[in-house]
Amino acid sequence: MSNAKITERHFSRRDVLGLGGAVVMMTLMGETPVLASPKDVKSKLAELADGAYQQKGRVSILLPTLTQDGKRTRIQVAVESPMTEDDYVKSVHILAERNTEPEVASYHFTPMSGKCEFVTRMRVAKSQTIVVAAENSDGSFYVAKARCKVARGAGGCG
Amino acid sequence: MKPEAPRIDMPSTANVGEIIMIRTKIRHIMETGWRKTSEGATVERNRLTKFTCSFEGQEVVTADLGSGVSQDPYFTFYAKVTKAGSFSFRWEGDNGQDITETIPVVISEEKV
C-alpha cells in the first residue's frame, strides 16, 4: 500500500536532484554579490592573526540571541587582561559573517584604558554569527563567536 | 537633521588611578552608500570613519568604524585617570567631517 502512495506523487530521483541544484544556484546567484560569507571572515581572521595561533577564551561577548532591530543591536565585549604596559589588549575587531562588509569596527586600546571592555551598537543584516577577535601586545590572538538571530524583516544593513 | 553636540557622560571628579566609564553618543546618519531611493538613485556615502579619545595628548582609545556600525554611533569604554586633566574626543568622517569635544576631570580631594 505505502509503495503505491509514493509512486502516485511522480517524483523521480532525477527531479529531486534537479530541484536541489536549482535552489543552490538561486541562493548562490542571489547572495554572492551582496553579502559576505563566513569564508571572508576566515580569511580576514588569518590576515589579522598574521600567523599567530587563534585561541579560544578570554573574550566574552554579550549579544542578544534574538533581536527585533538589526539596525542597532547592542553588543558588549569584555577581554580579560591586566592592561599594564607589558601586557595589554592592542586591538579588538568585530566581524560579521553575513553583513555586506564583514568588518564592522576595530577598536584599539592602550594601557591608559585600564580595562578592556566596551559597548557599542552594530548593524546585523540577517541571522548570523558575529566573530570578535582580540590582539594582545604579546602577540597572542583570541577569538570568540556569538550567534545572533534577526527577526524576519528586521535586518539592519541599508 | 540639526547638527547636535555629541553626548558624553562621564564623572567630573575621580581619584588618581581610578578607572572611569565614559559613554559617548553622537548623532550621525552613517549612510553606507549602498542604499537606493525609490527613484533608484544611490544615496551618497556619509559615514564617520574614525573615533579618537585622548587624555592630555596621549591616546586612550581609537576606533576604526566600518559599515556595520549603526546610526548614531554609541560607544562606552573605560579610561584610567592618572592626574587632573581633560579628555578630548574626536570623530572624523567622510568629506572632511571633524567633530571635537573636550571635557575636564578634577581629582577629588576628599579621598586620598
In a domain, A61, yes or no: yes
Residues in B whose CB is inside 8 Å of some CB of A read: 19, 31-32, 34-35, 55, 58-80, 82
Q: Which residues of B touch A71 (CB under 8 A)?
A: 70-71
Half-sphere exposure in the Cβ direction for A66 (13 Å, CA): 3
Yes or no: say if A128 and A96 are a contact pair by the CB < 8 Å rule: yes
Question: Is A15 a domain residue?
Answer: no
Q: Say yes or no for a CB contact (<8 Å) between A110 and B76.
A: no
Q: Are A71 and B71 inside 8 Å of each other by CB?
A: yes
> Does A22 fall in a domain?
no
User: What tens digit of pLDDT does each residue of A34-76 get?
Assistant: 688 999 999 999 999 988 999 999 999 999 999 998 999 999 9
Contacts of A117 in chain B (CB under 8 A): 77-78
Residue A80 lies in a domain: yes
Q: How sure is the predictor about A28, in pLDDT bands with cuts at 50, 70 and 90?
A: very low
Residue A3 lies in a domain: no
> What's the pLDDT tens digit per position in B52-85?
999 999 999 999 999 999 999 999 999 999 999 9
Range of the domain at A79: 38-150
pLDDT band at B43 (very low <50, low <70, confident <90, very high): very high
Give the helix ranges, DSSP H, for chain A: 2-8, 13-31, 38-49
Q: How far is A43 from chain B (nearest CA, A)?
A: 18
Asked if residue A139 belongs to a domain, the reply is: yes
Each residue's pLDDT tens digit, A116-137 = 999 999 999 999 999 999 999 9
Quote the ipTM score: 0.90
Q: Is A5 among the domain residues?
A: no
Give the pLDDT of residue A140.
Answer: 94
pLDDT recorded at residue A33: 42
pLDDT digits (tens, 9 = 90+) for A81-124: 999 999 999 999 999 999 999 999 999 999 999 999 999 999 99
Computed over every residue of chain A, the mean pLDDT equals 85
Question: What are the start-end ranges of the E strands in A14-127?
Answer: 54-56, 59-62, 66-67, 73-79, 89-96, 103-109, 117-122
Whether residue A157 is contained in a domain is answered as no
CATH number at residue A130: 2.60.40.2470
Angstroms from B76 CA to nearest CA on chain A = 5
Nearest C-alpha neighbor of B22 from the set B82, B68, B88, B66: B88
What DSSP character marks residue A113? G
Q: Do B60 and A112 touch (CB under 8 A)?
A: yes
Contacts of B58 in chain A (CB under 8 A): 110, 112
Report the number of distinct structural domains present in chain A. Answer: 1
- Give the Cα separation of A27 and A20 in Å (integer): 11
Q: In the block, which residue shows the cell 576604526?
A: B64
Minimum distance, in Å, between the CA of residue A105 and any CA atom of chain B: 5
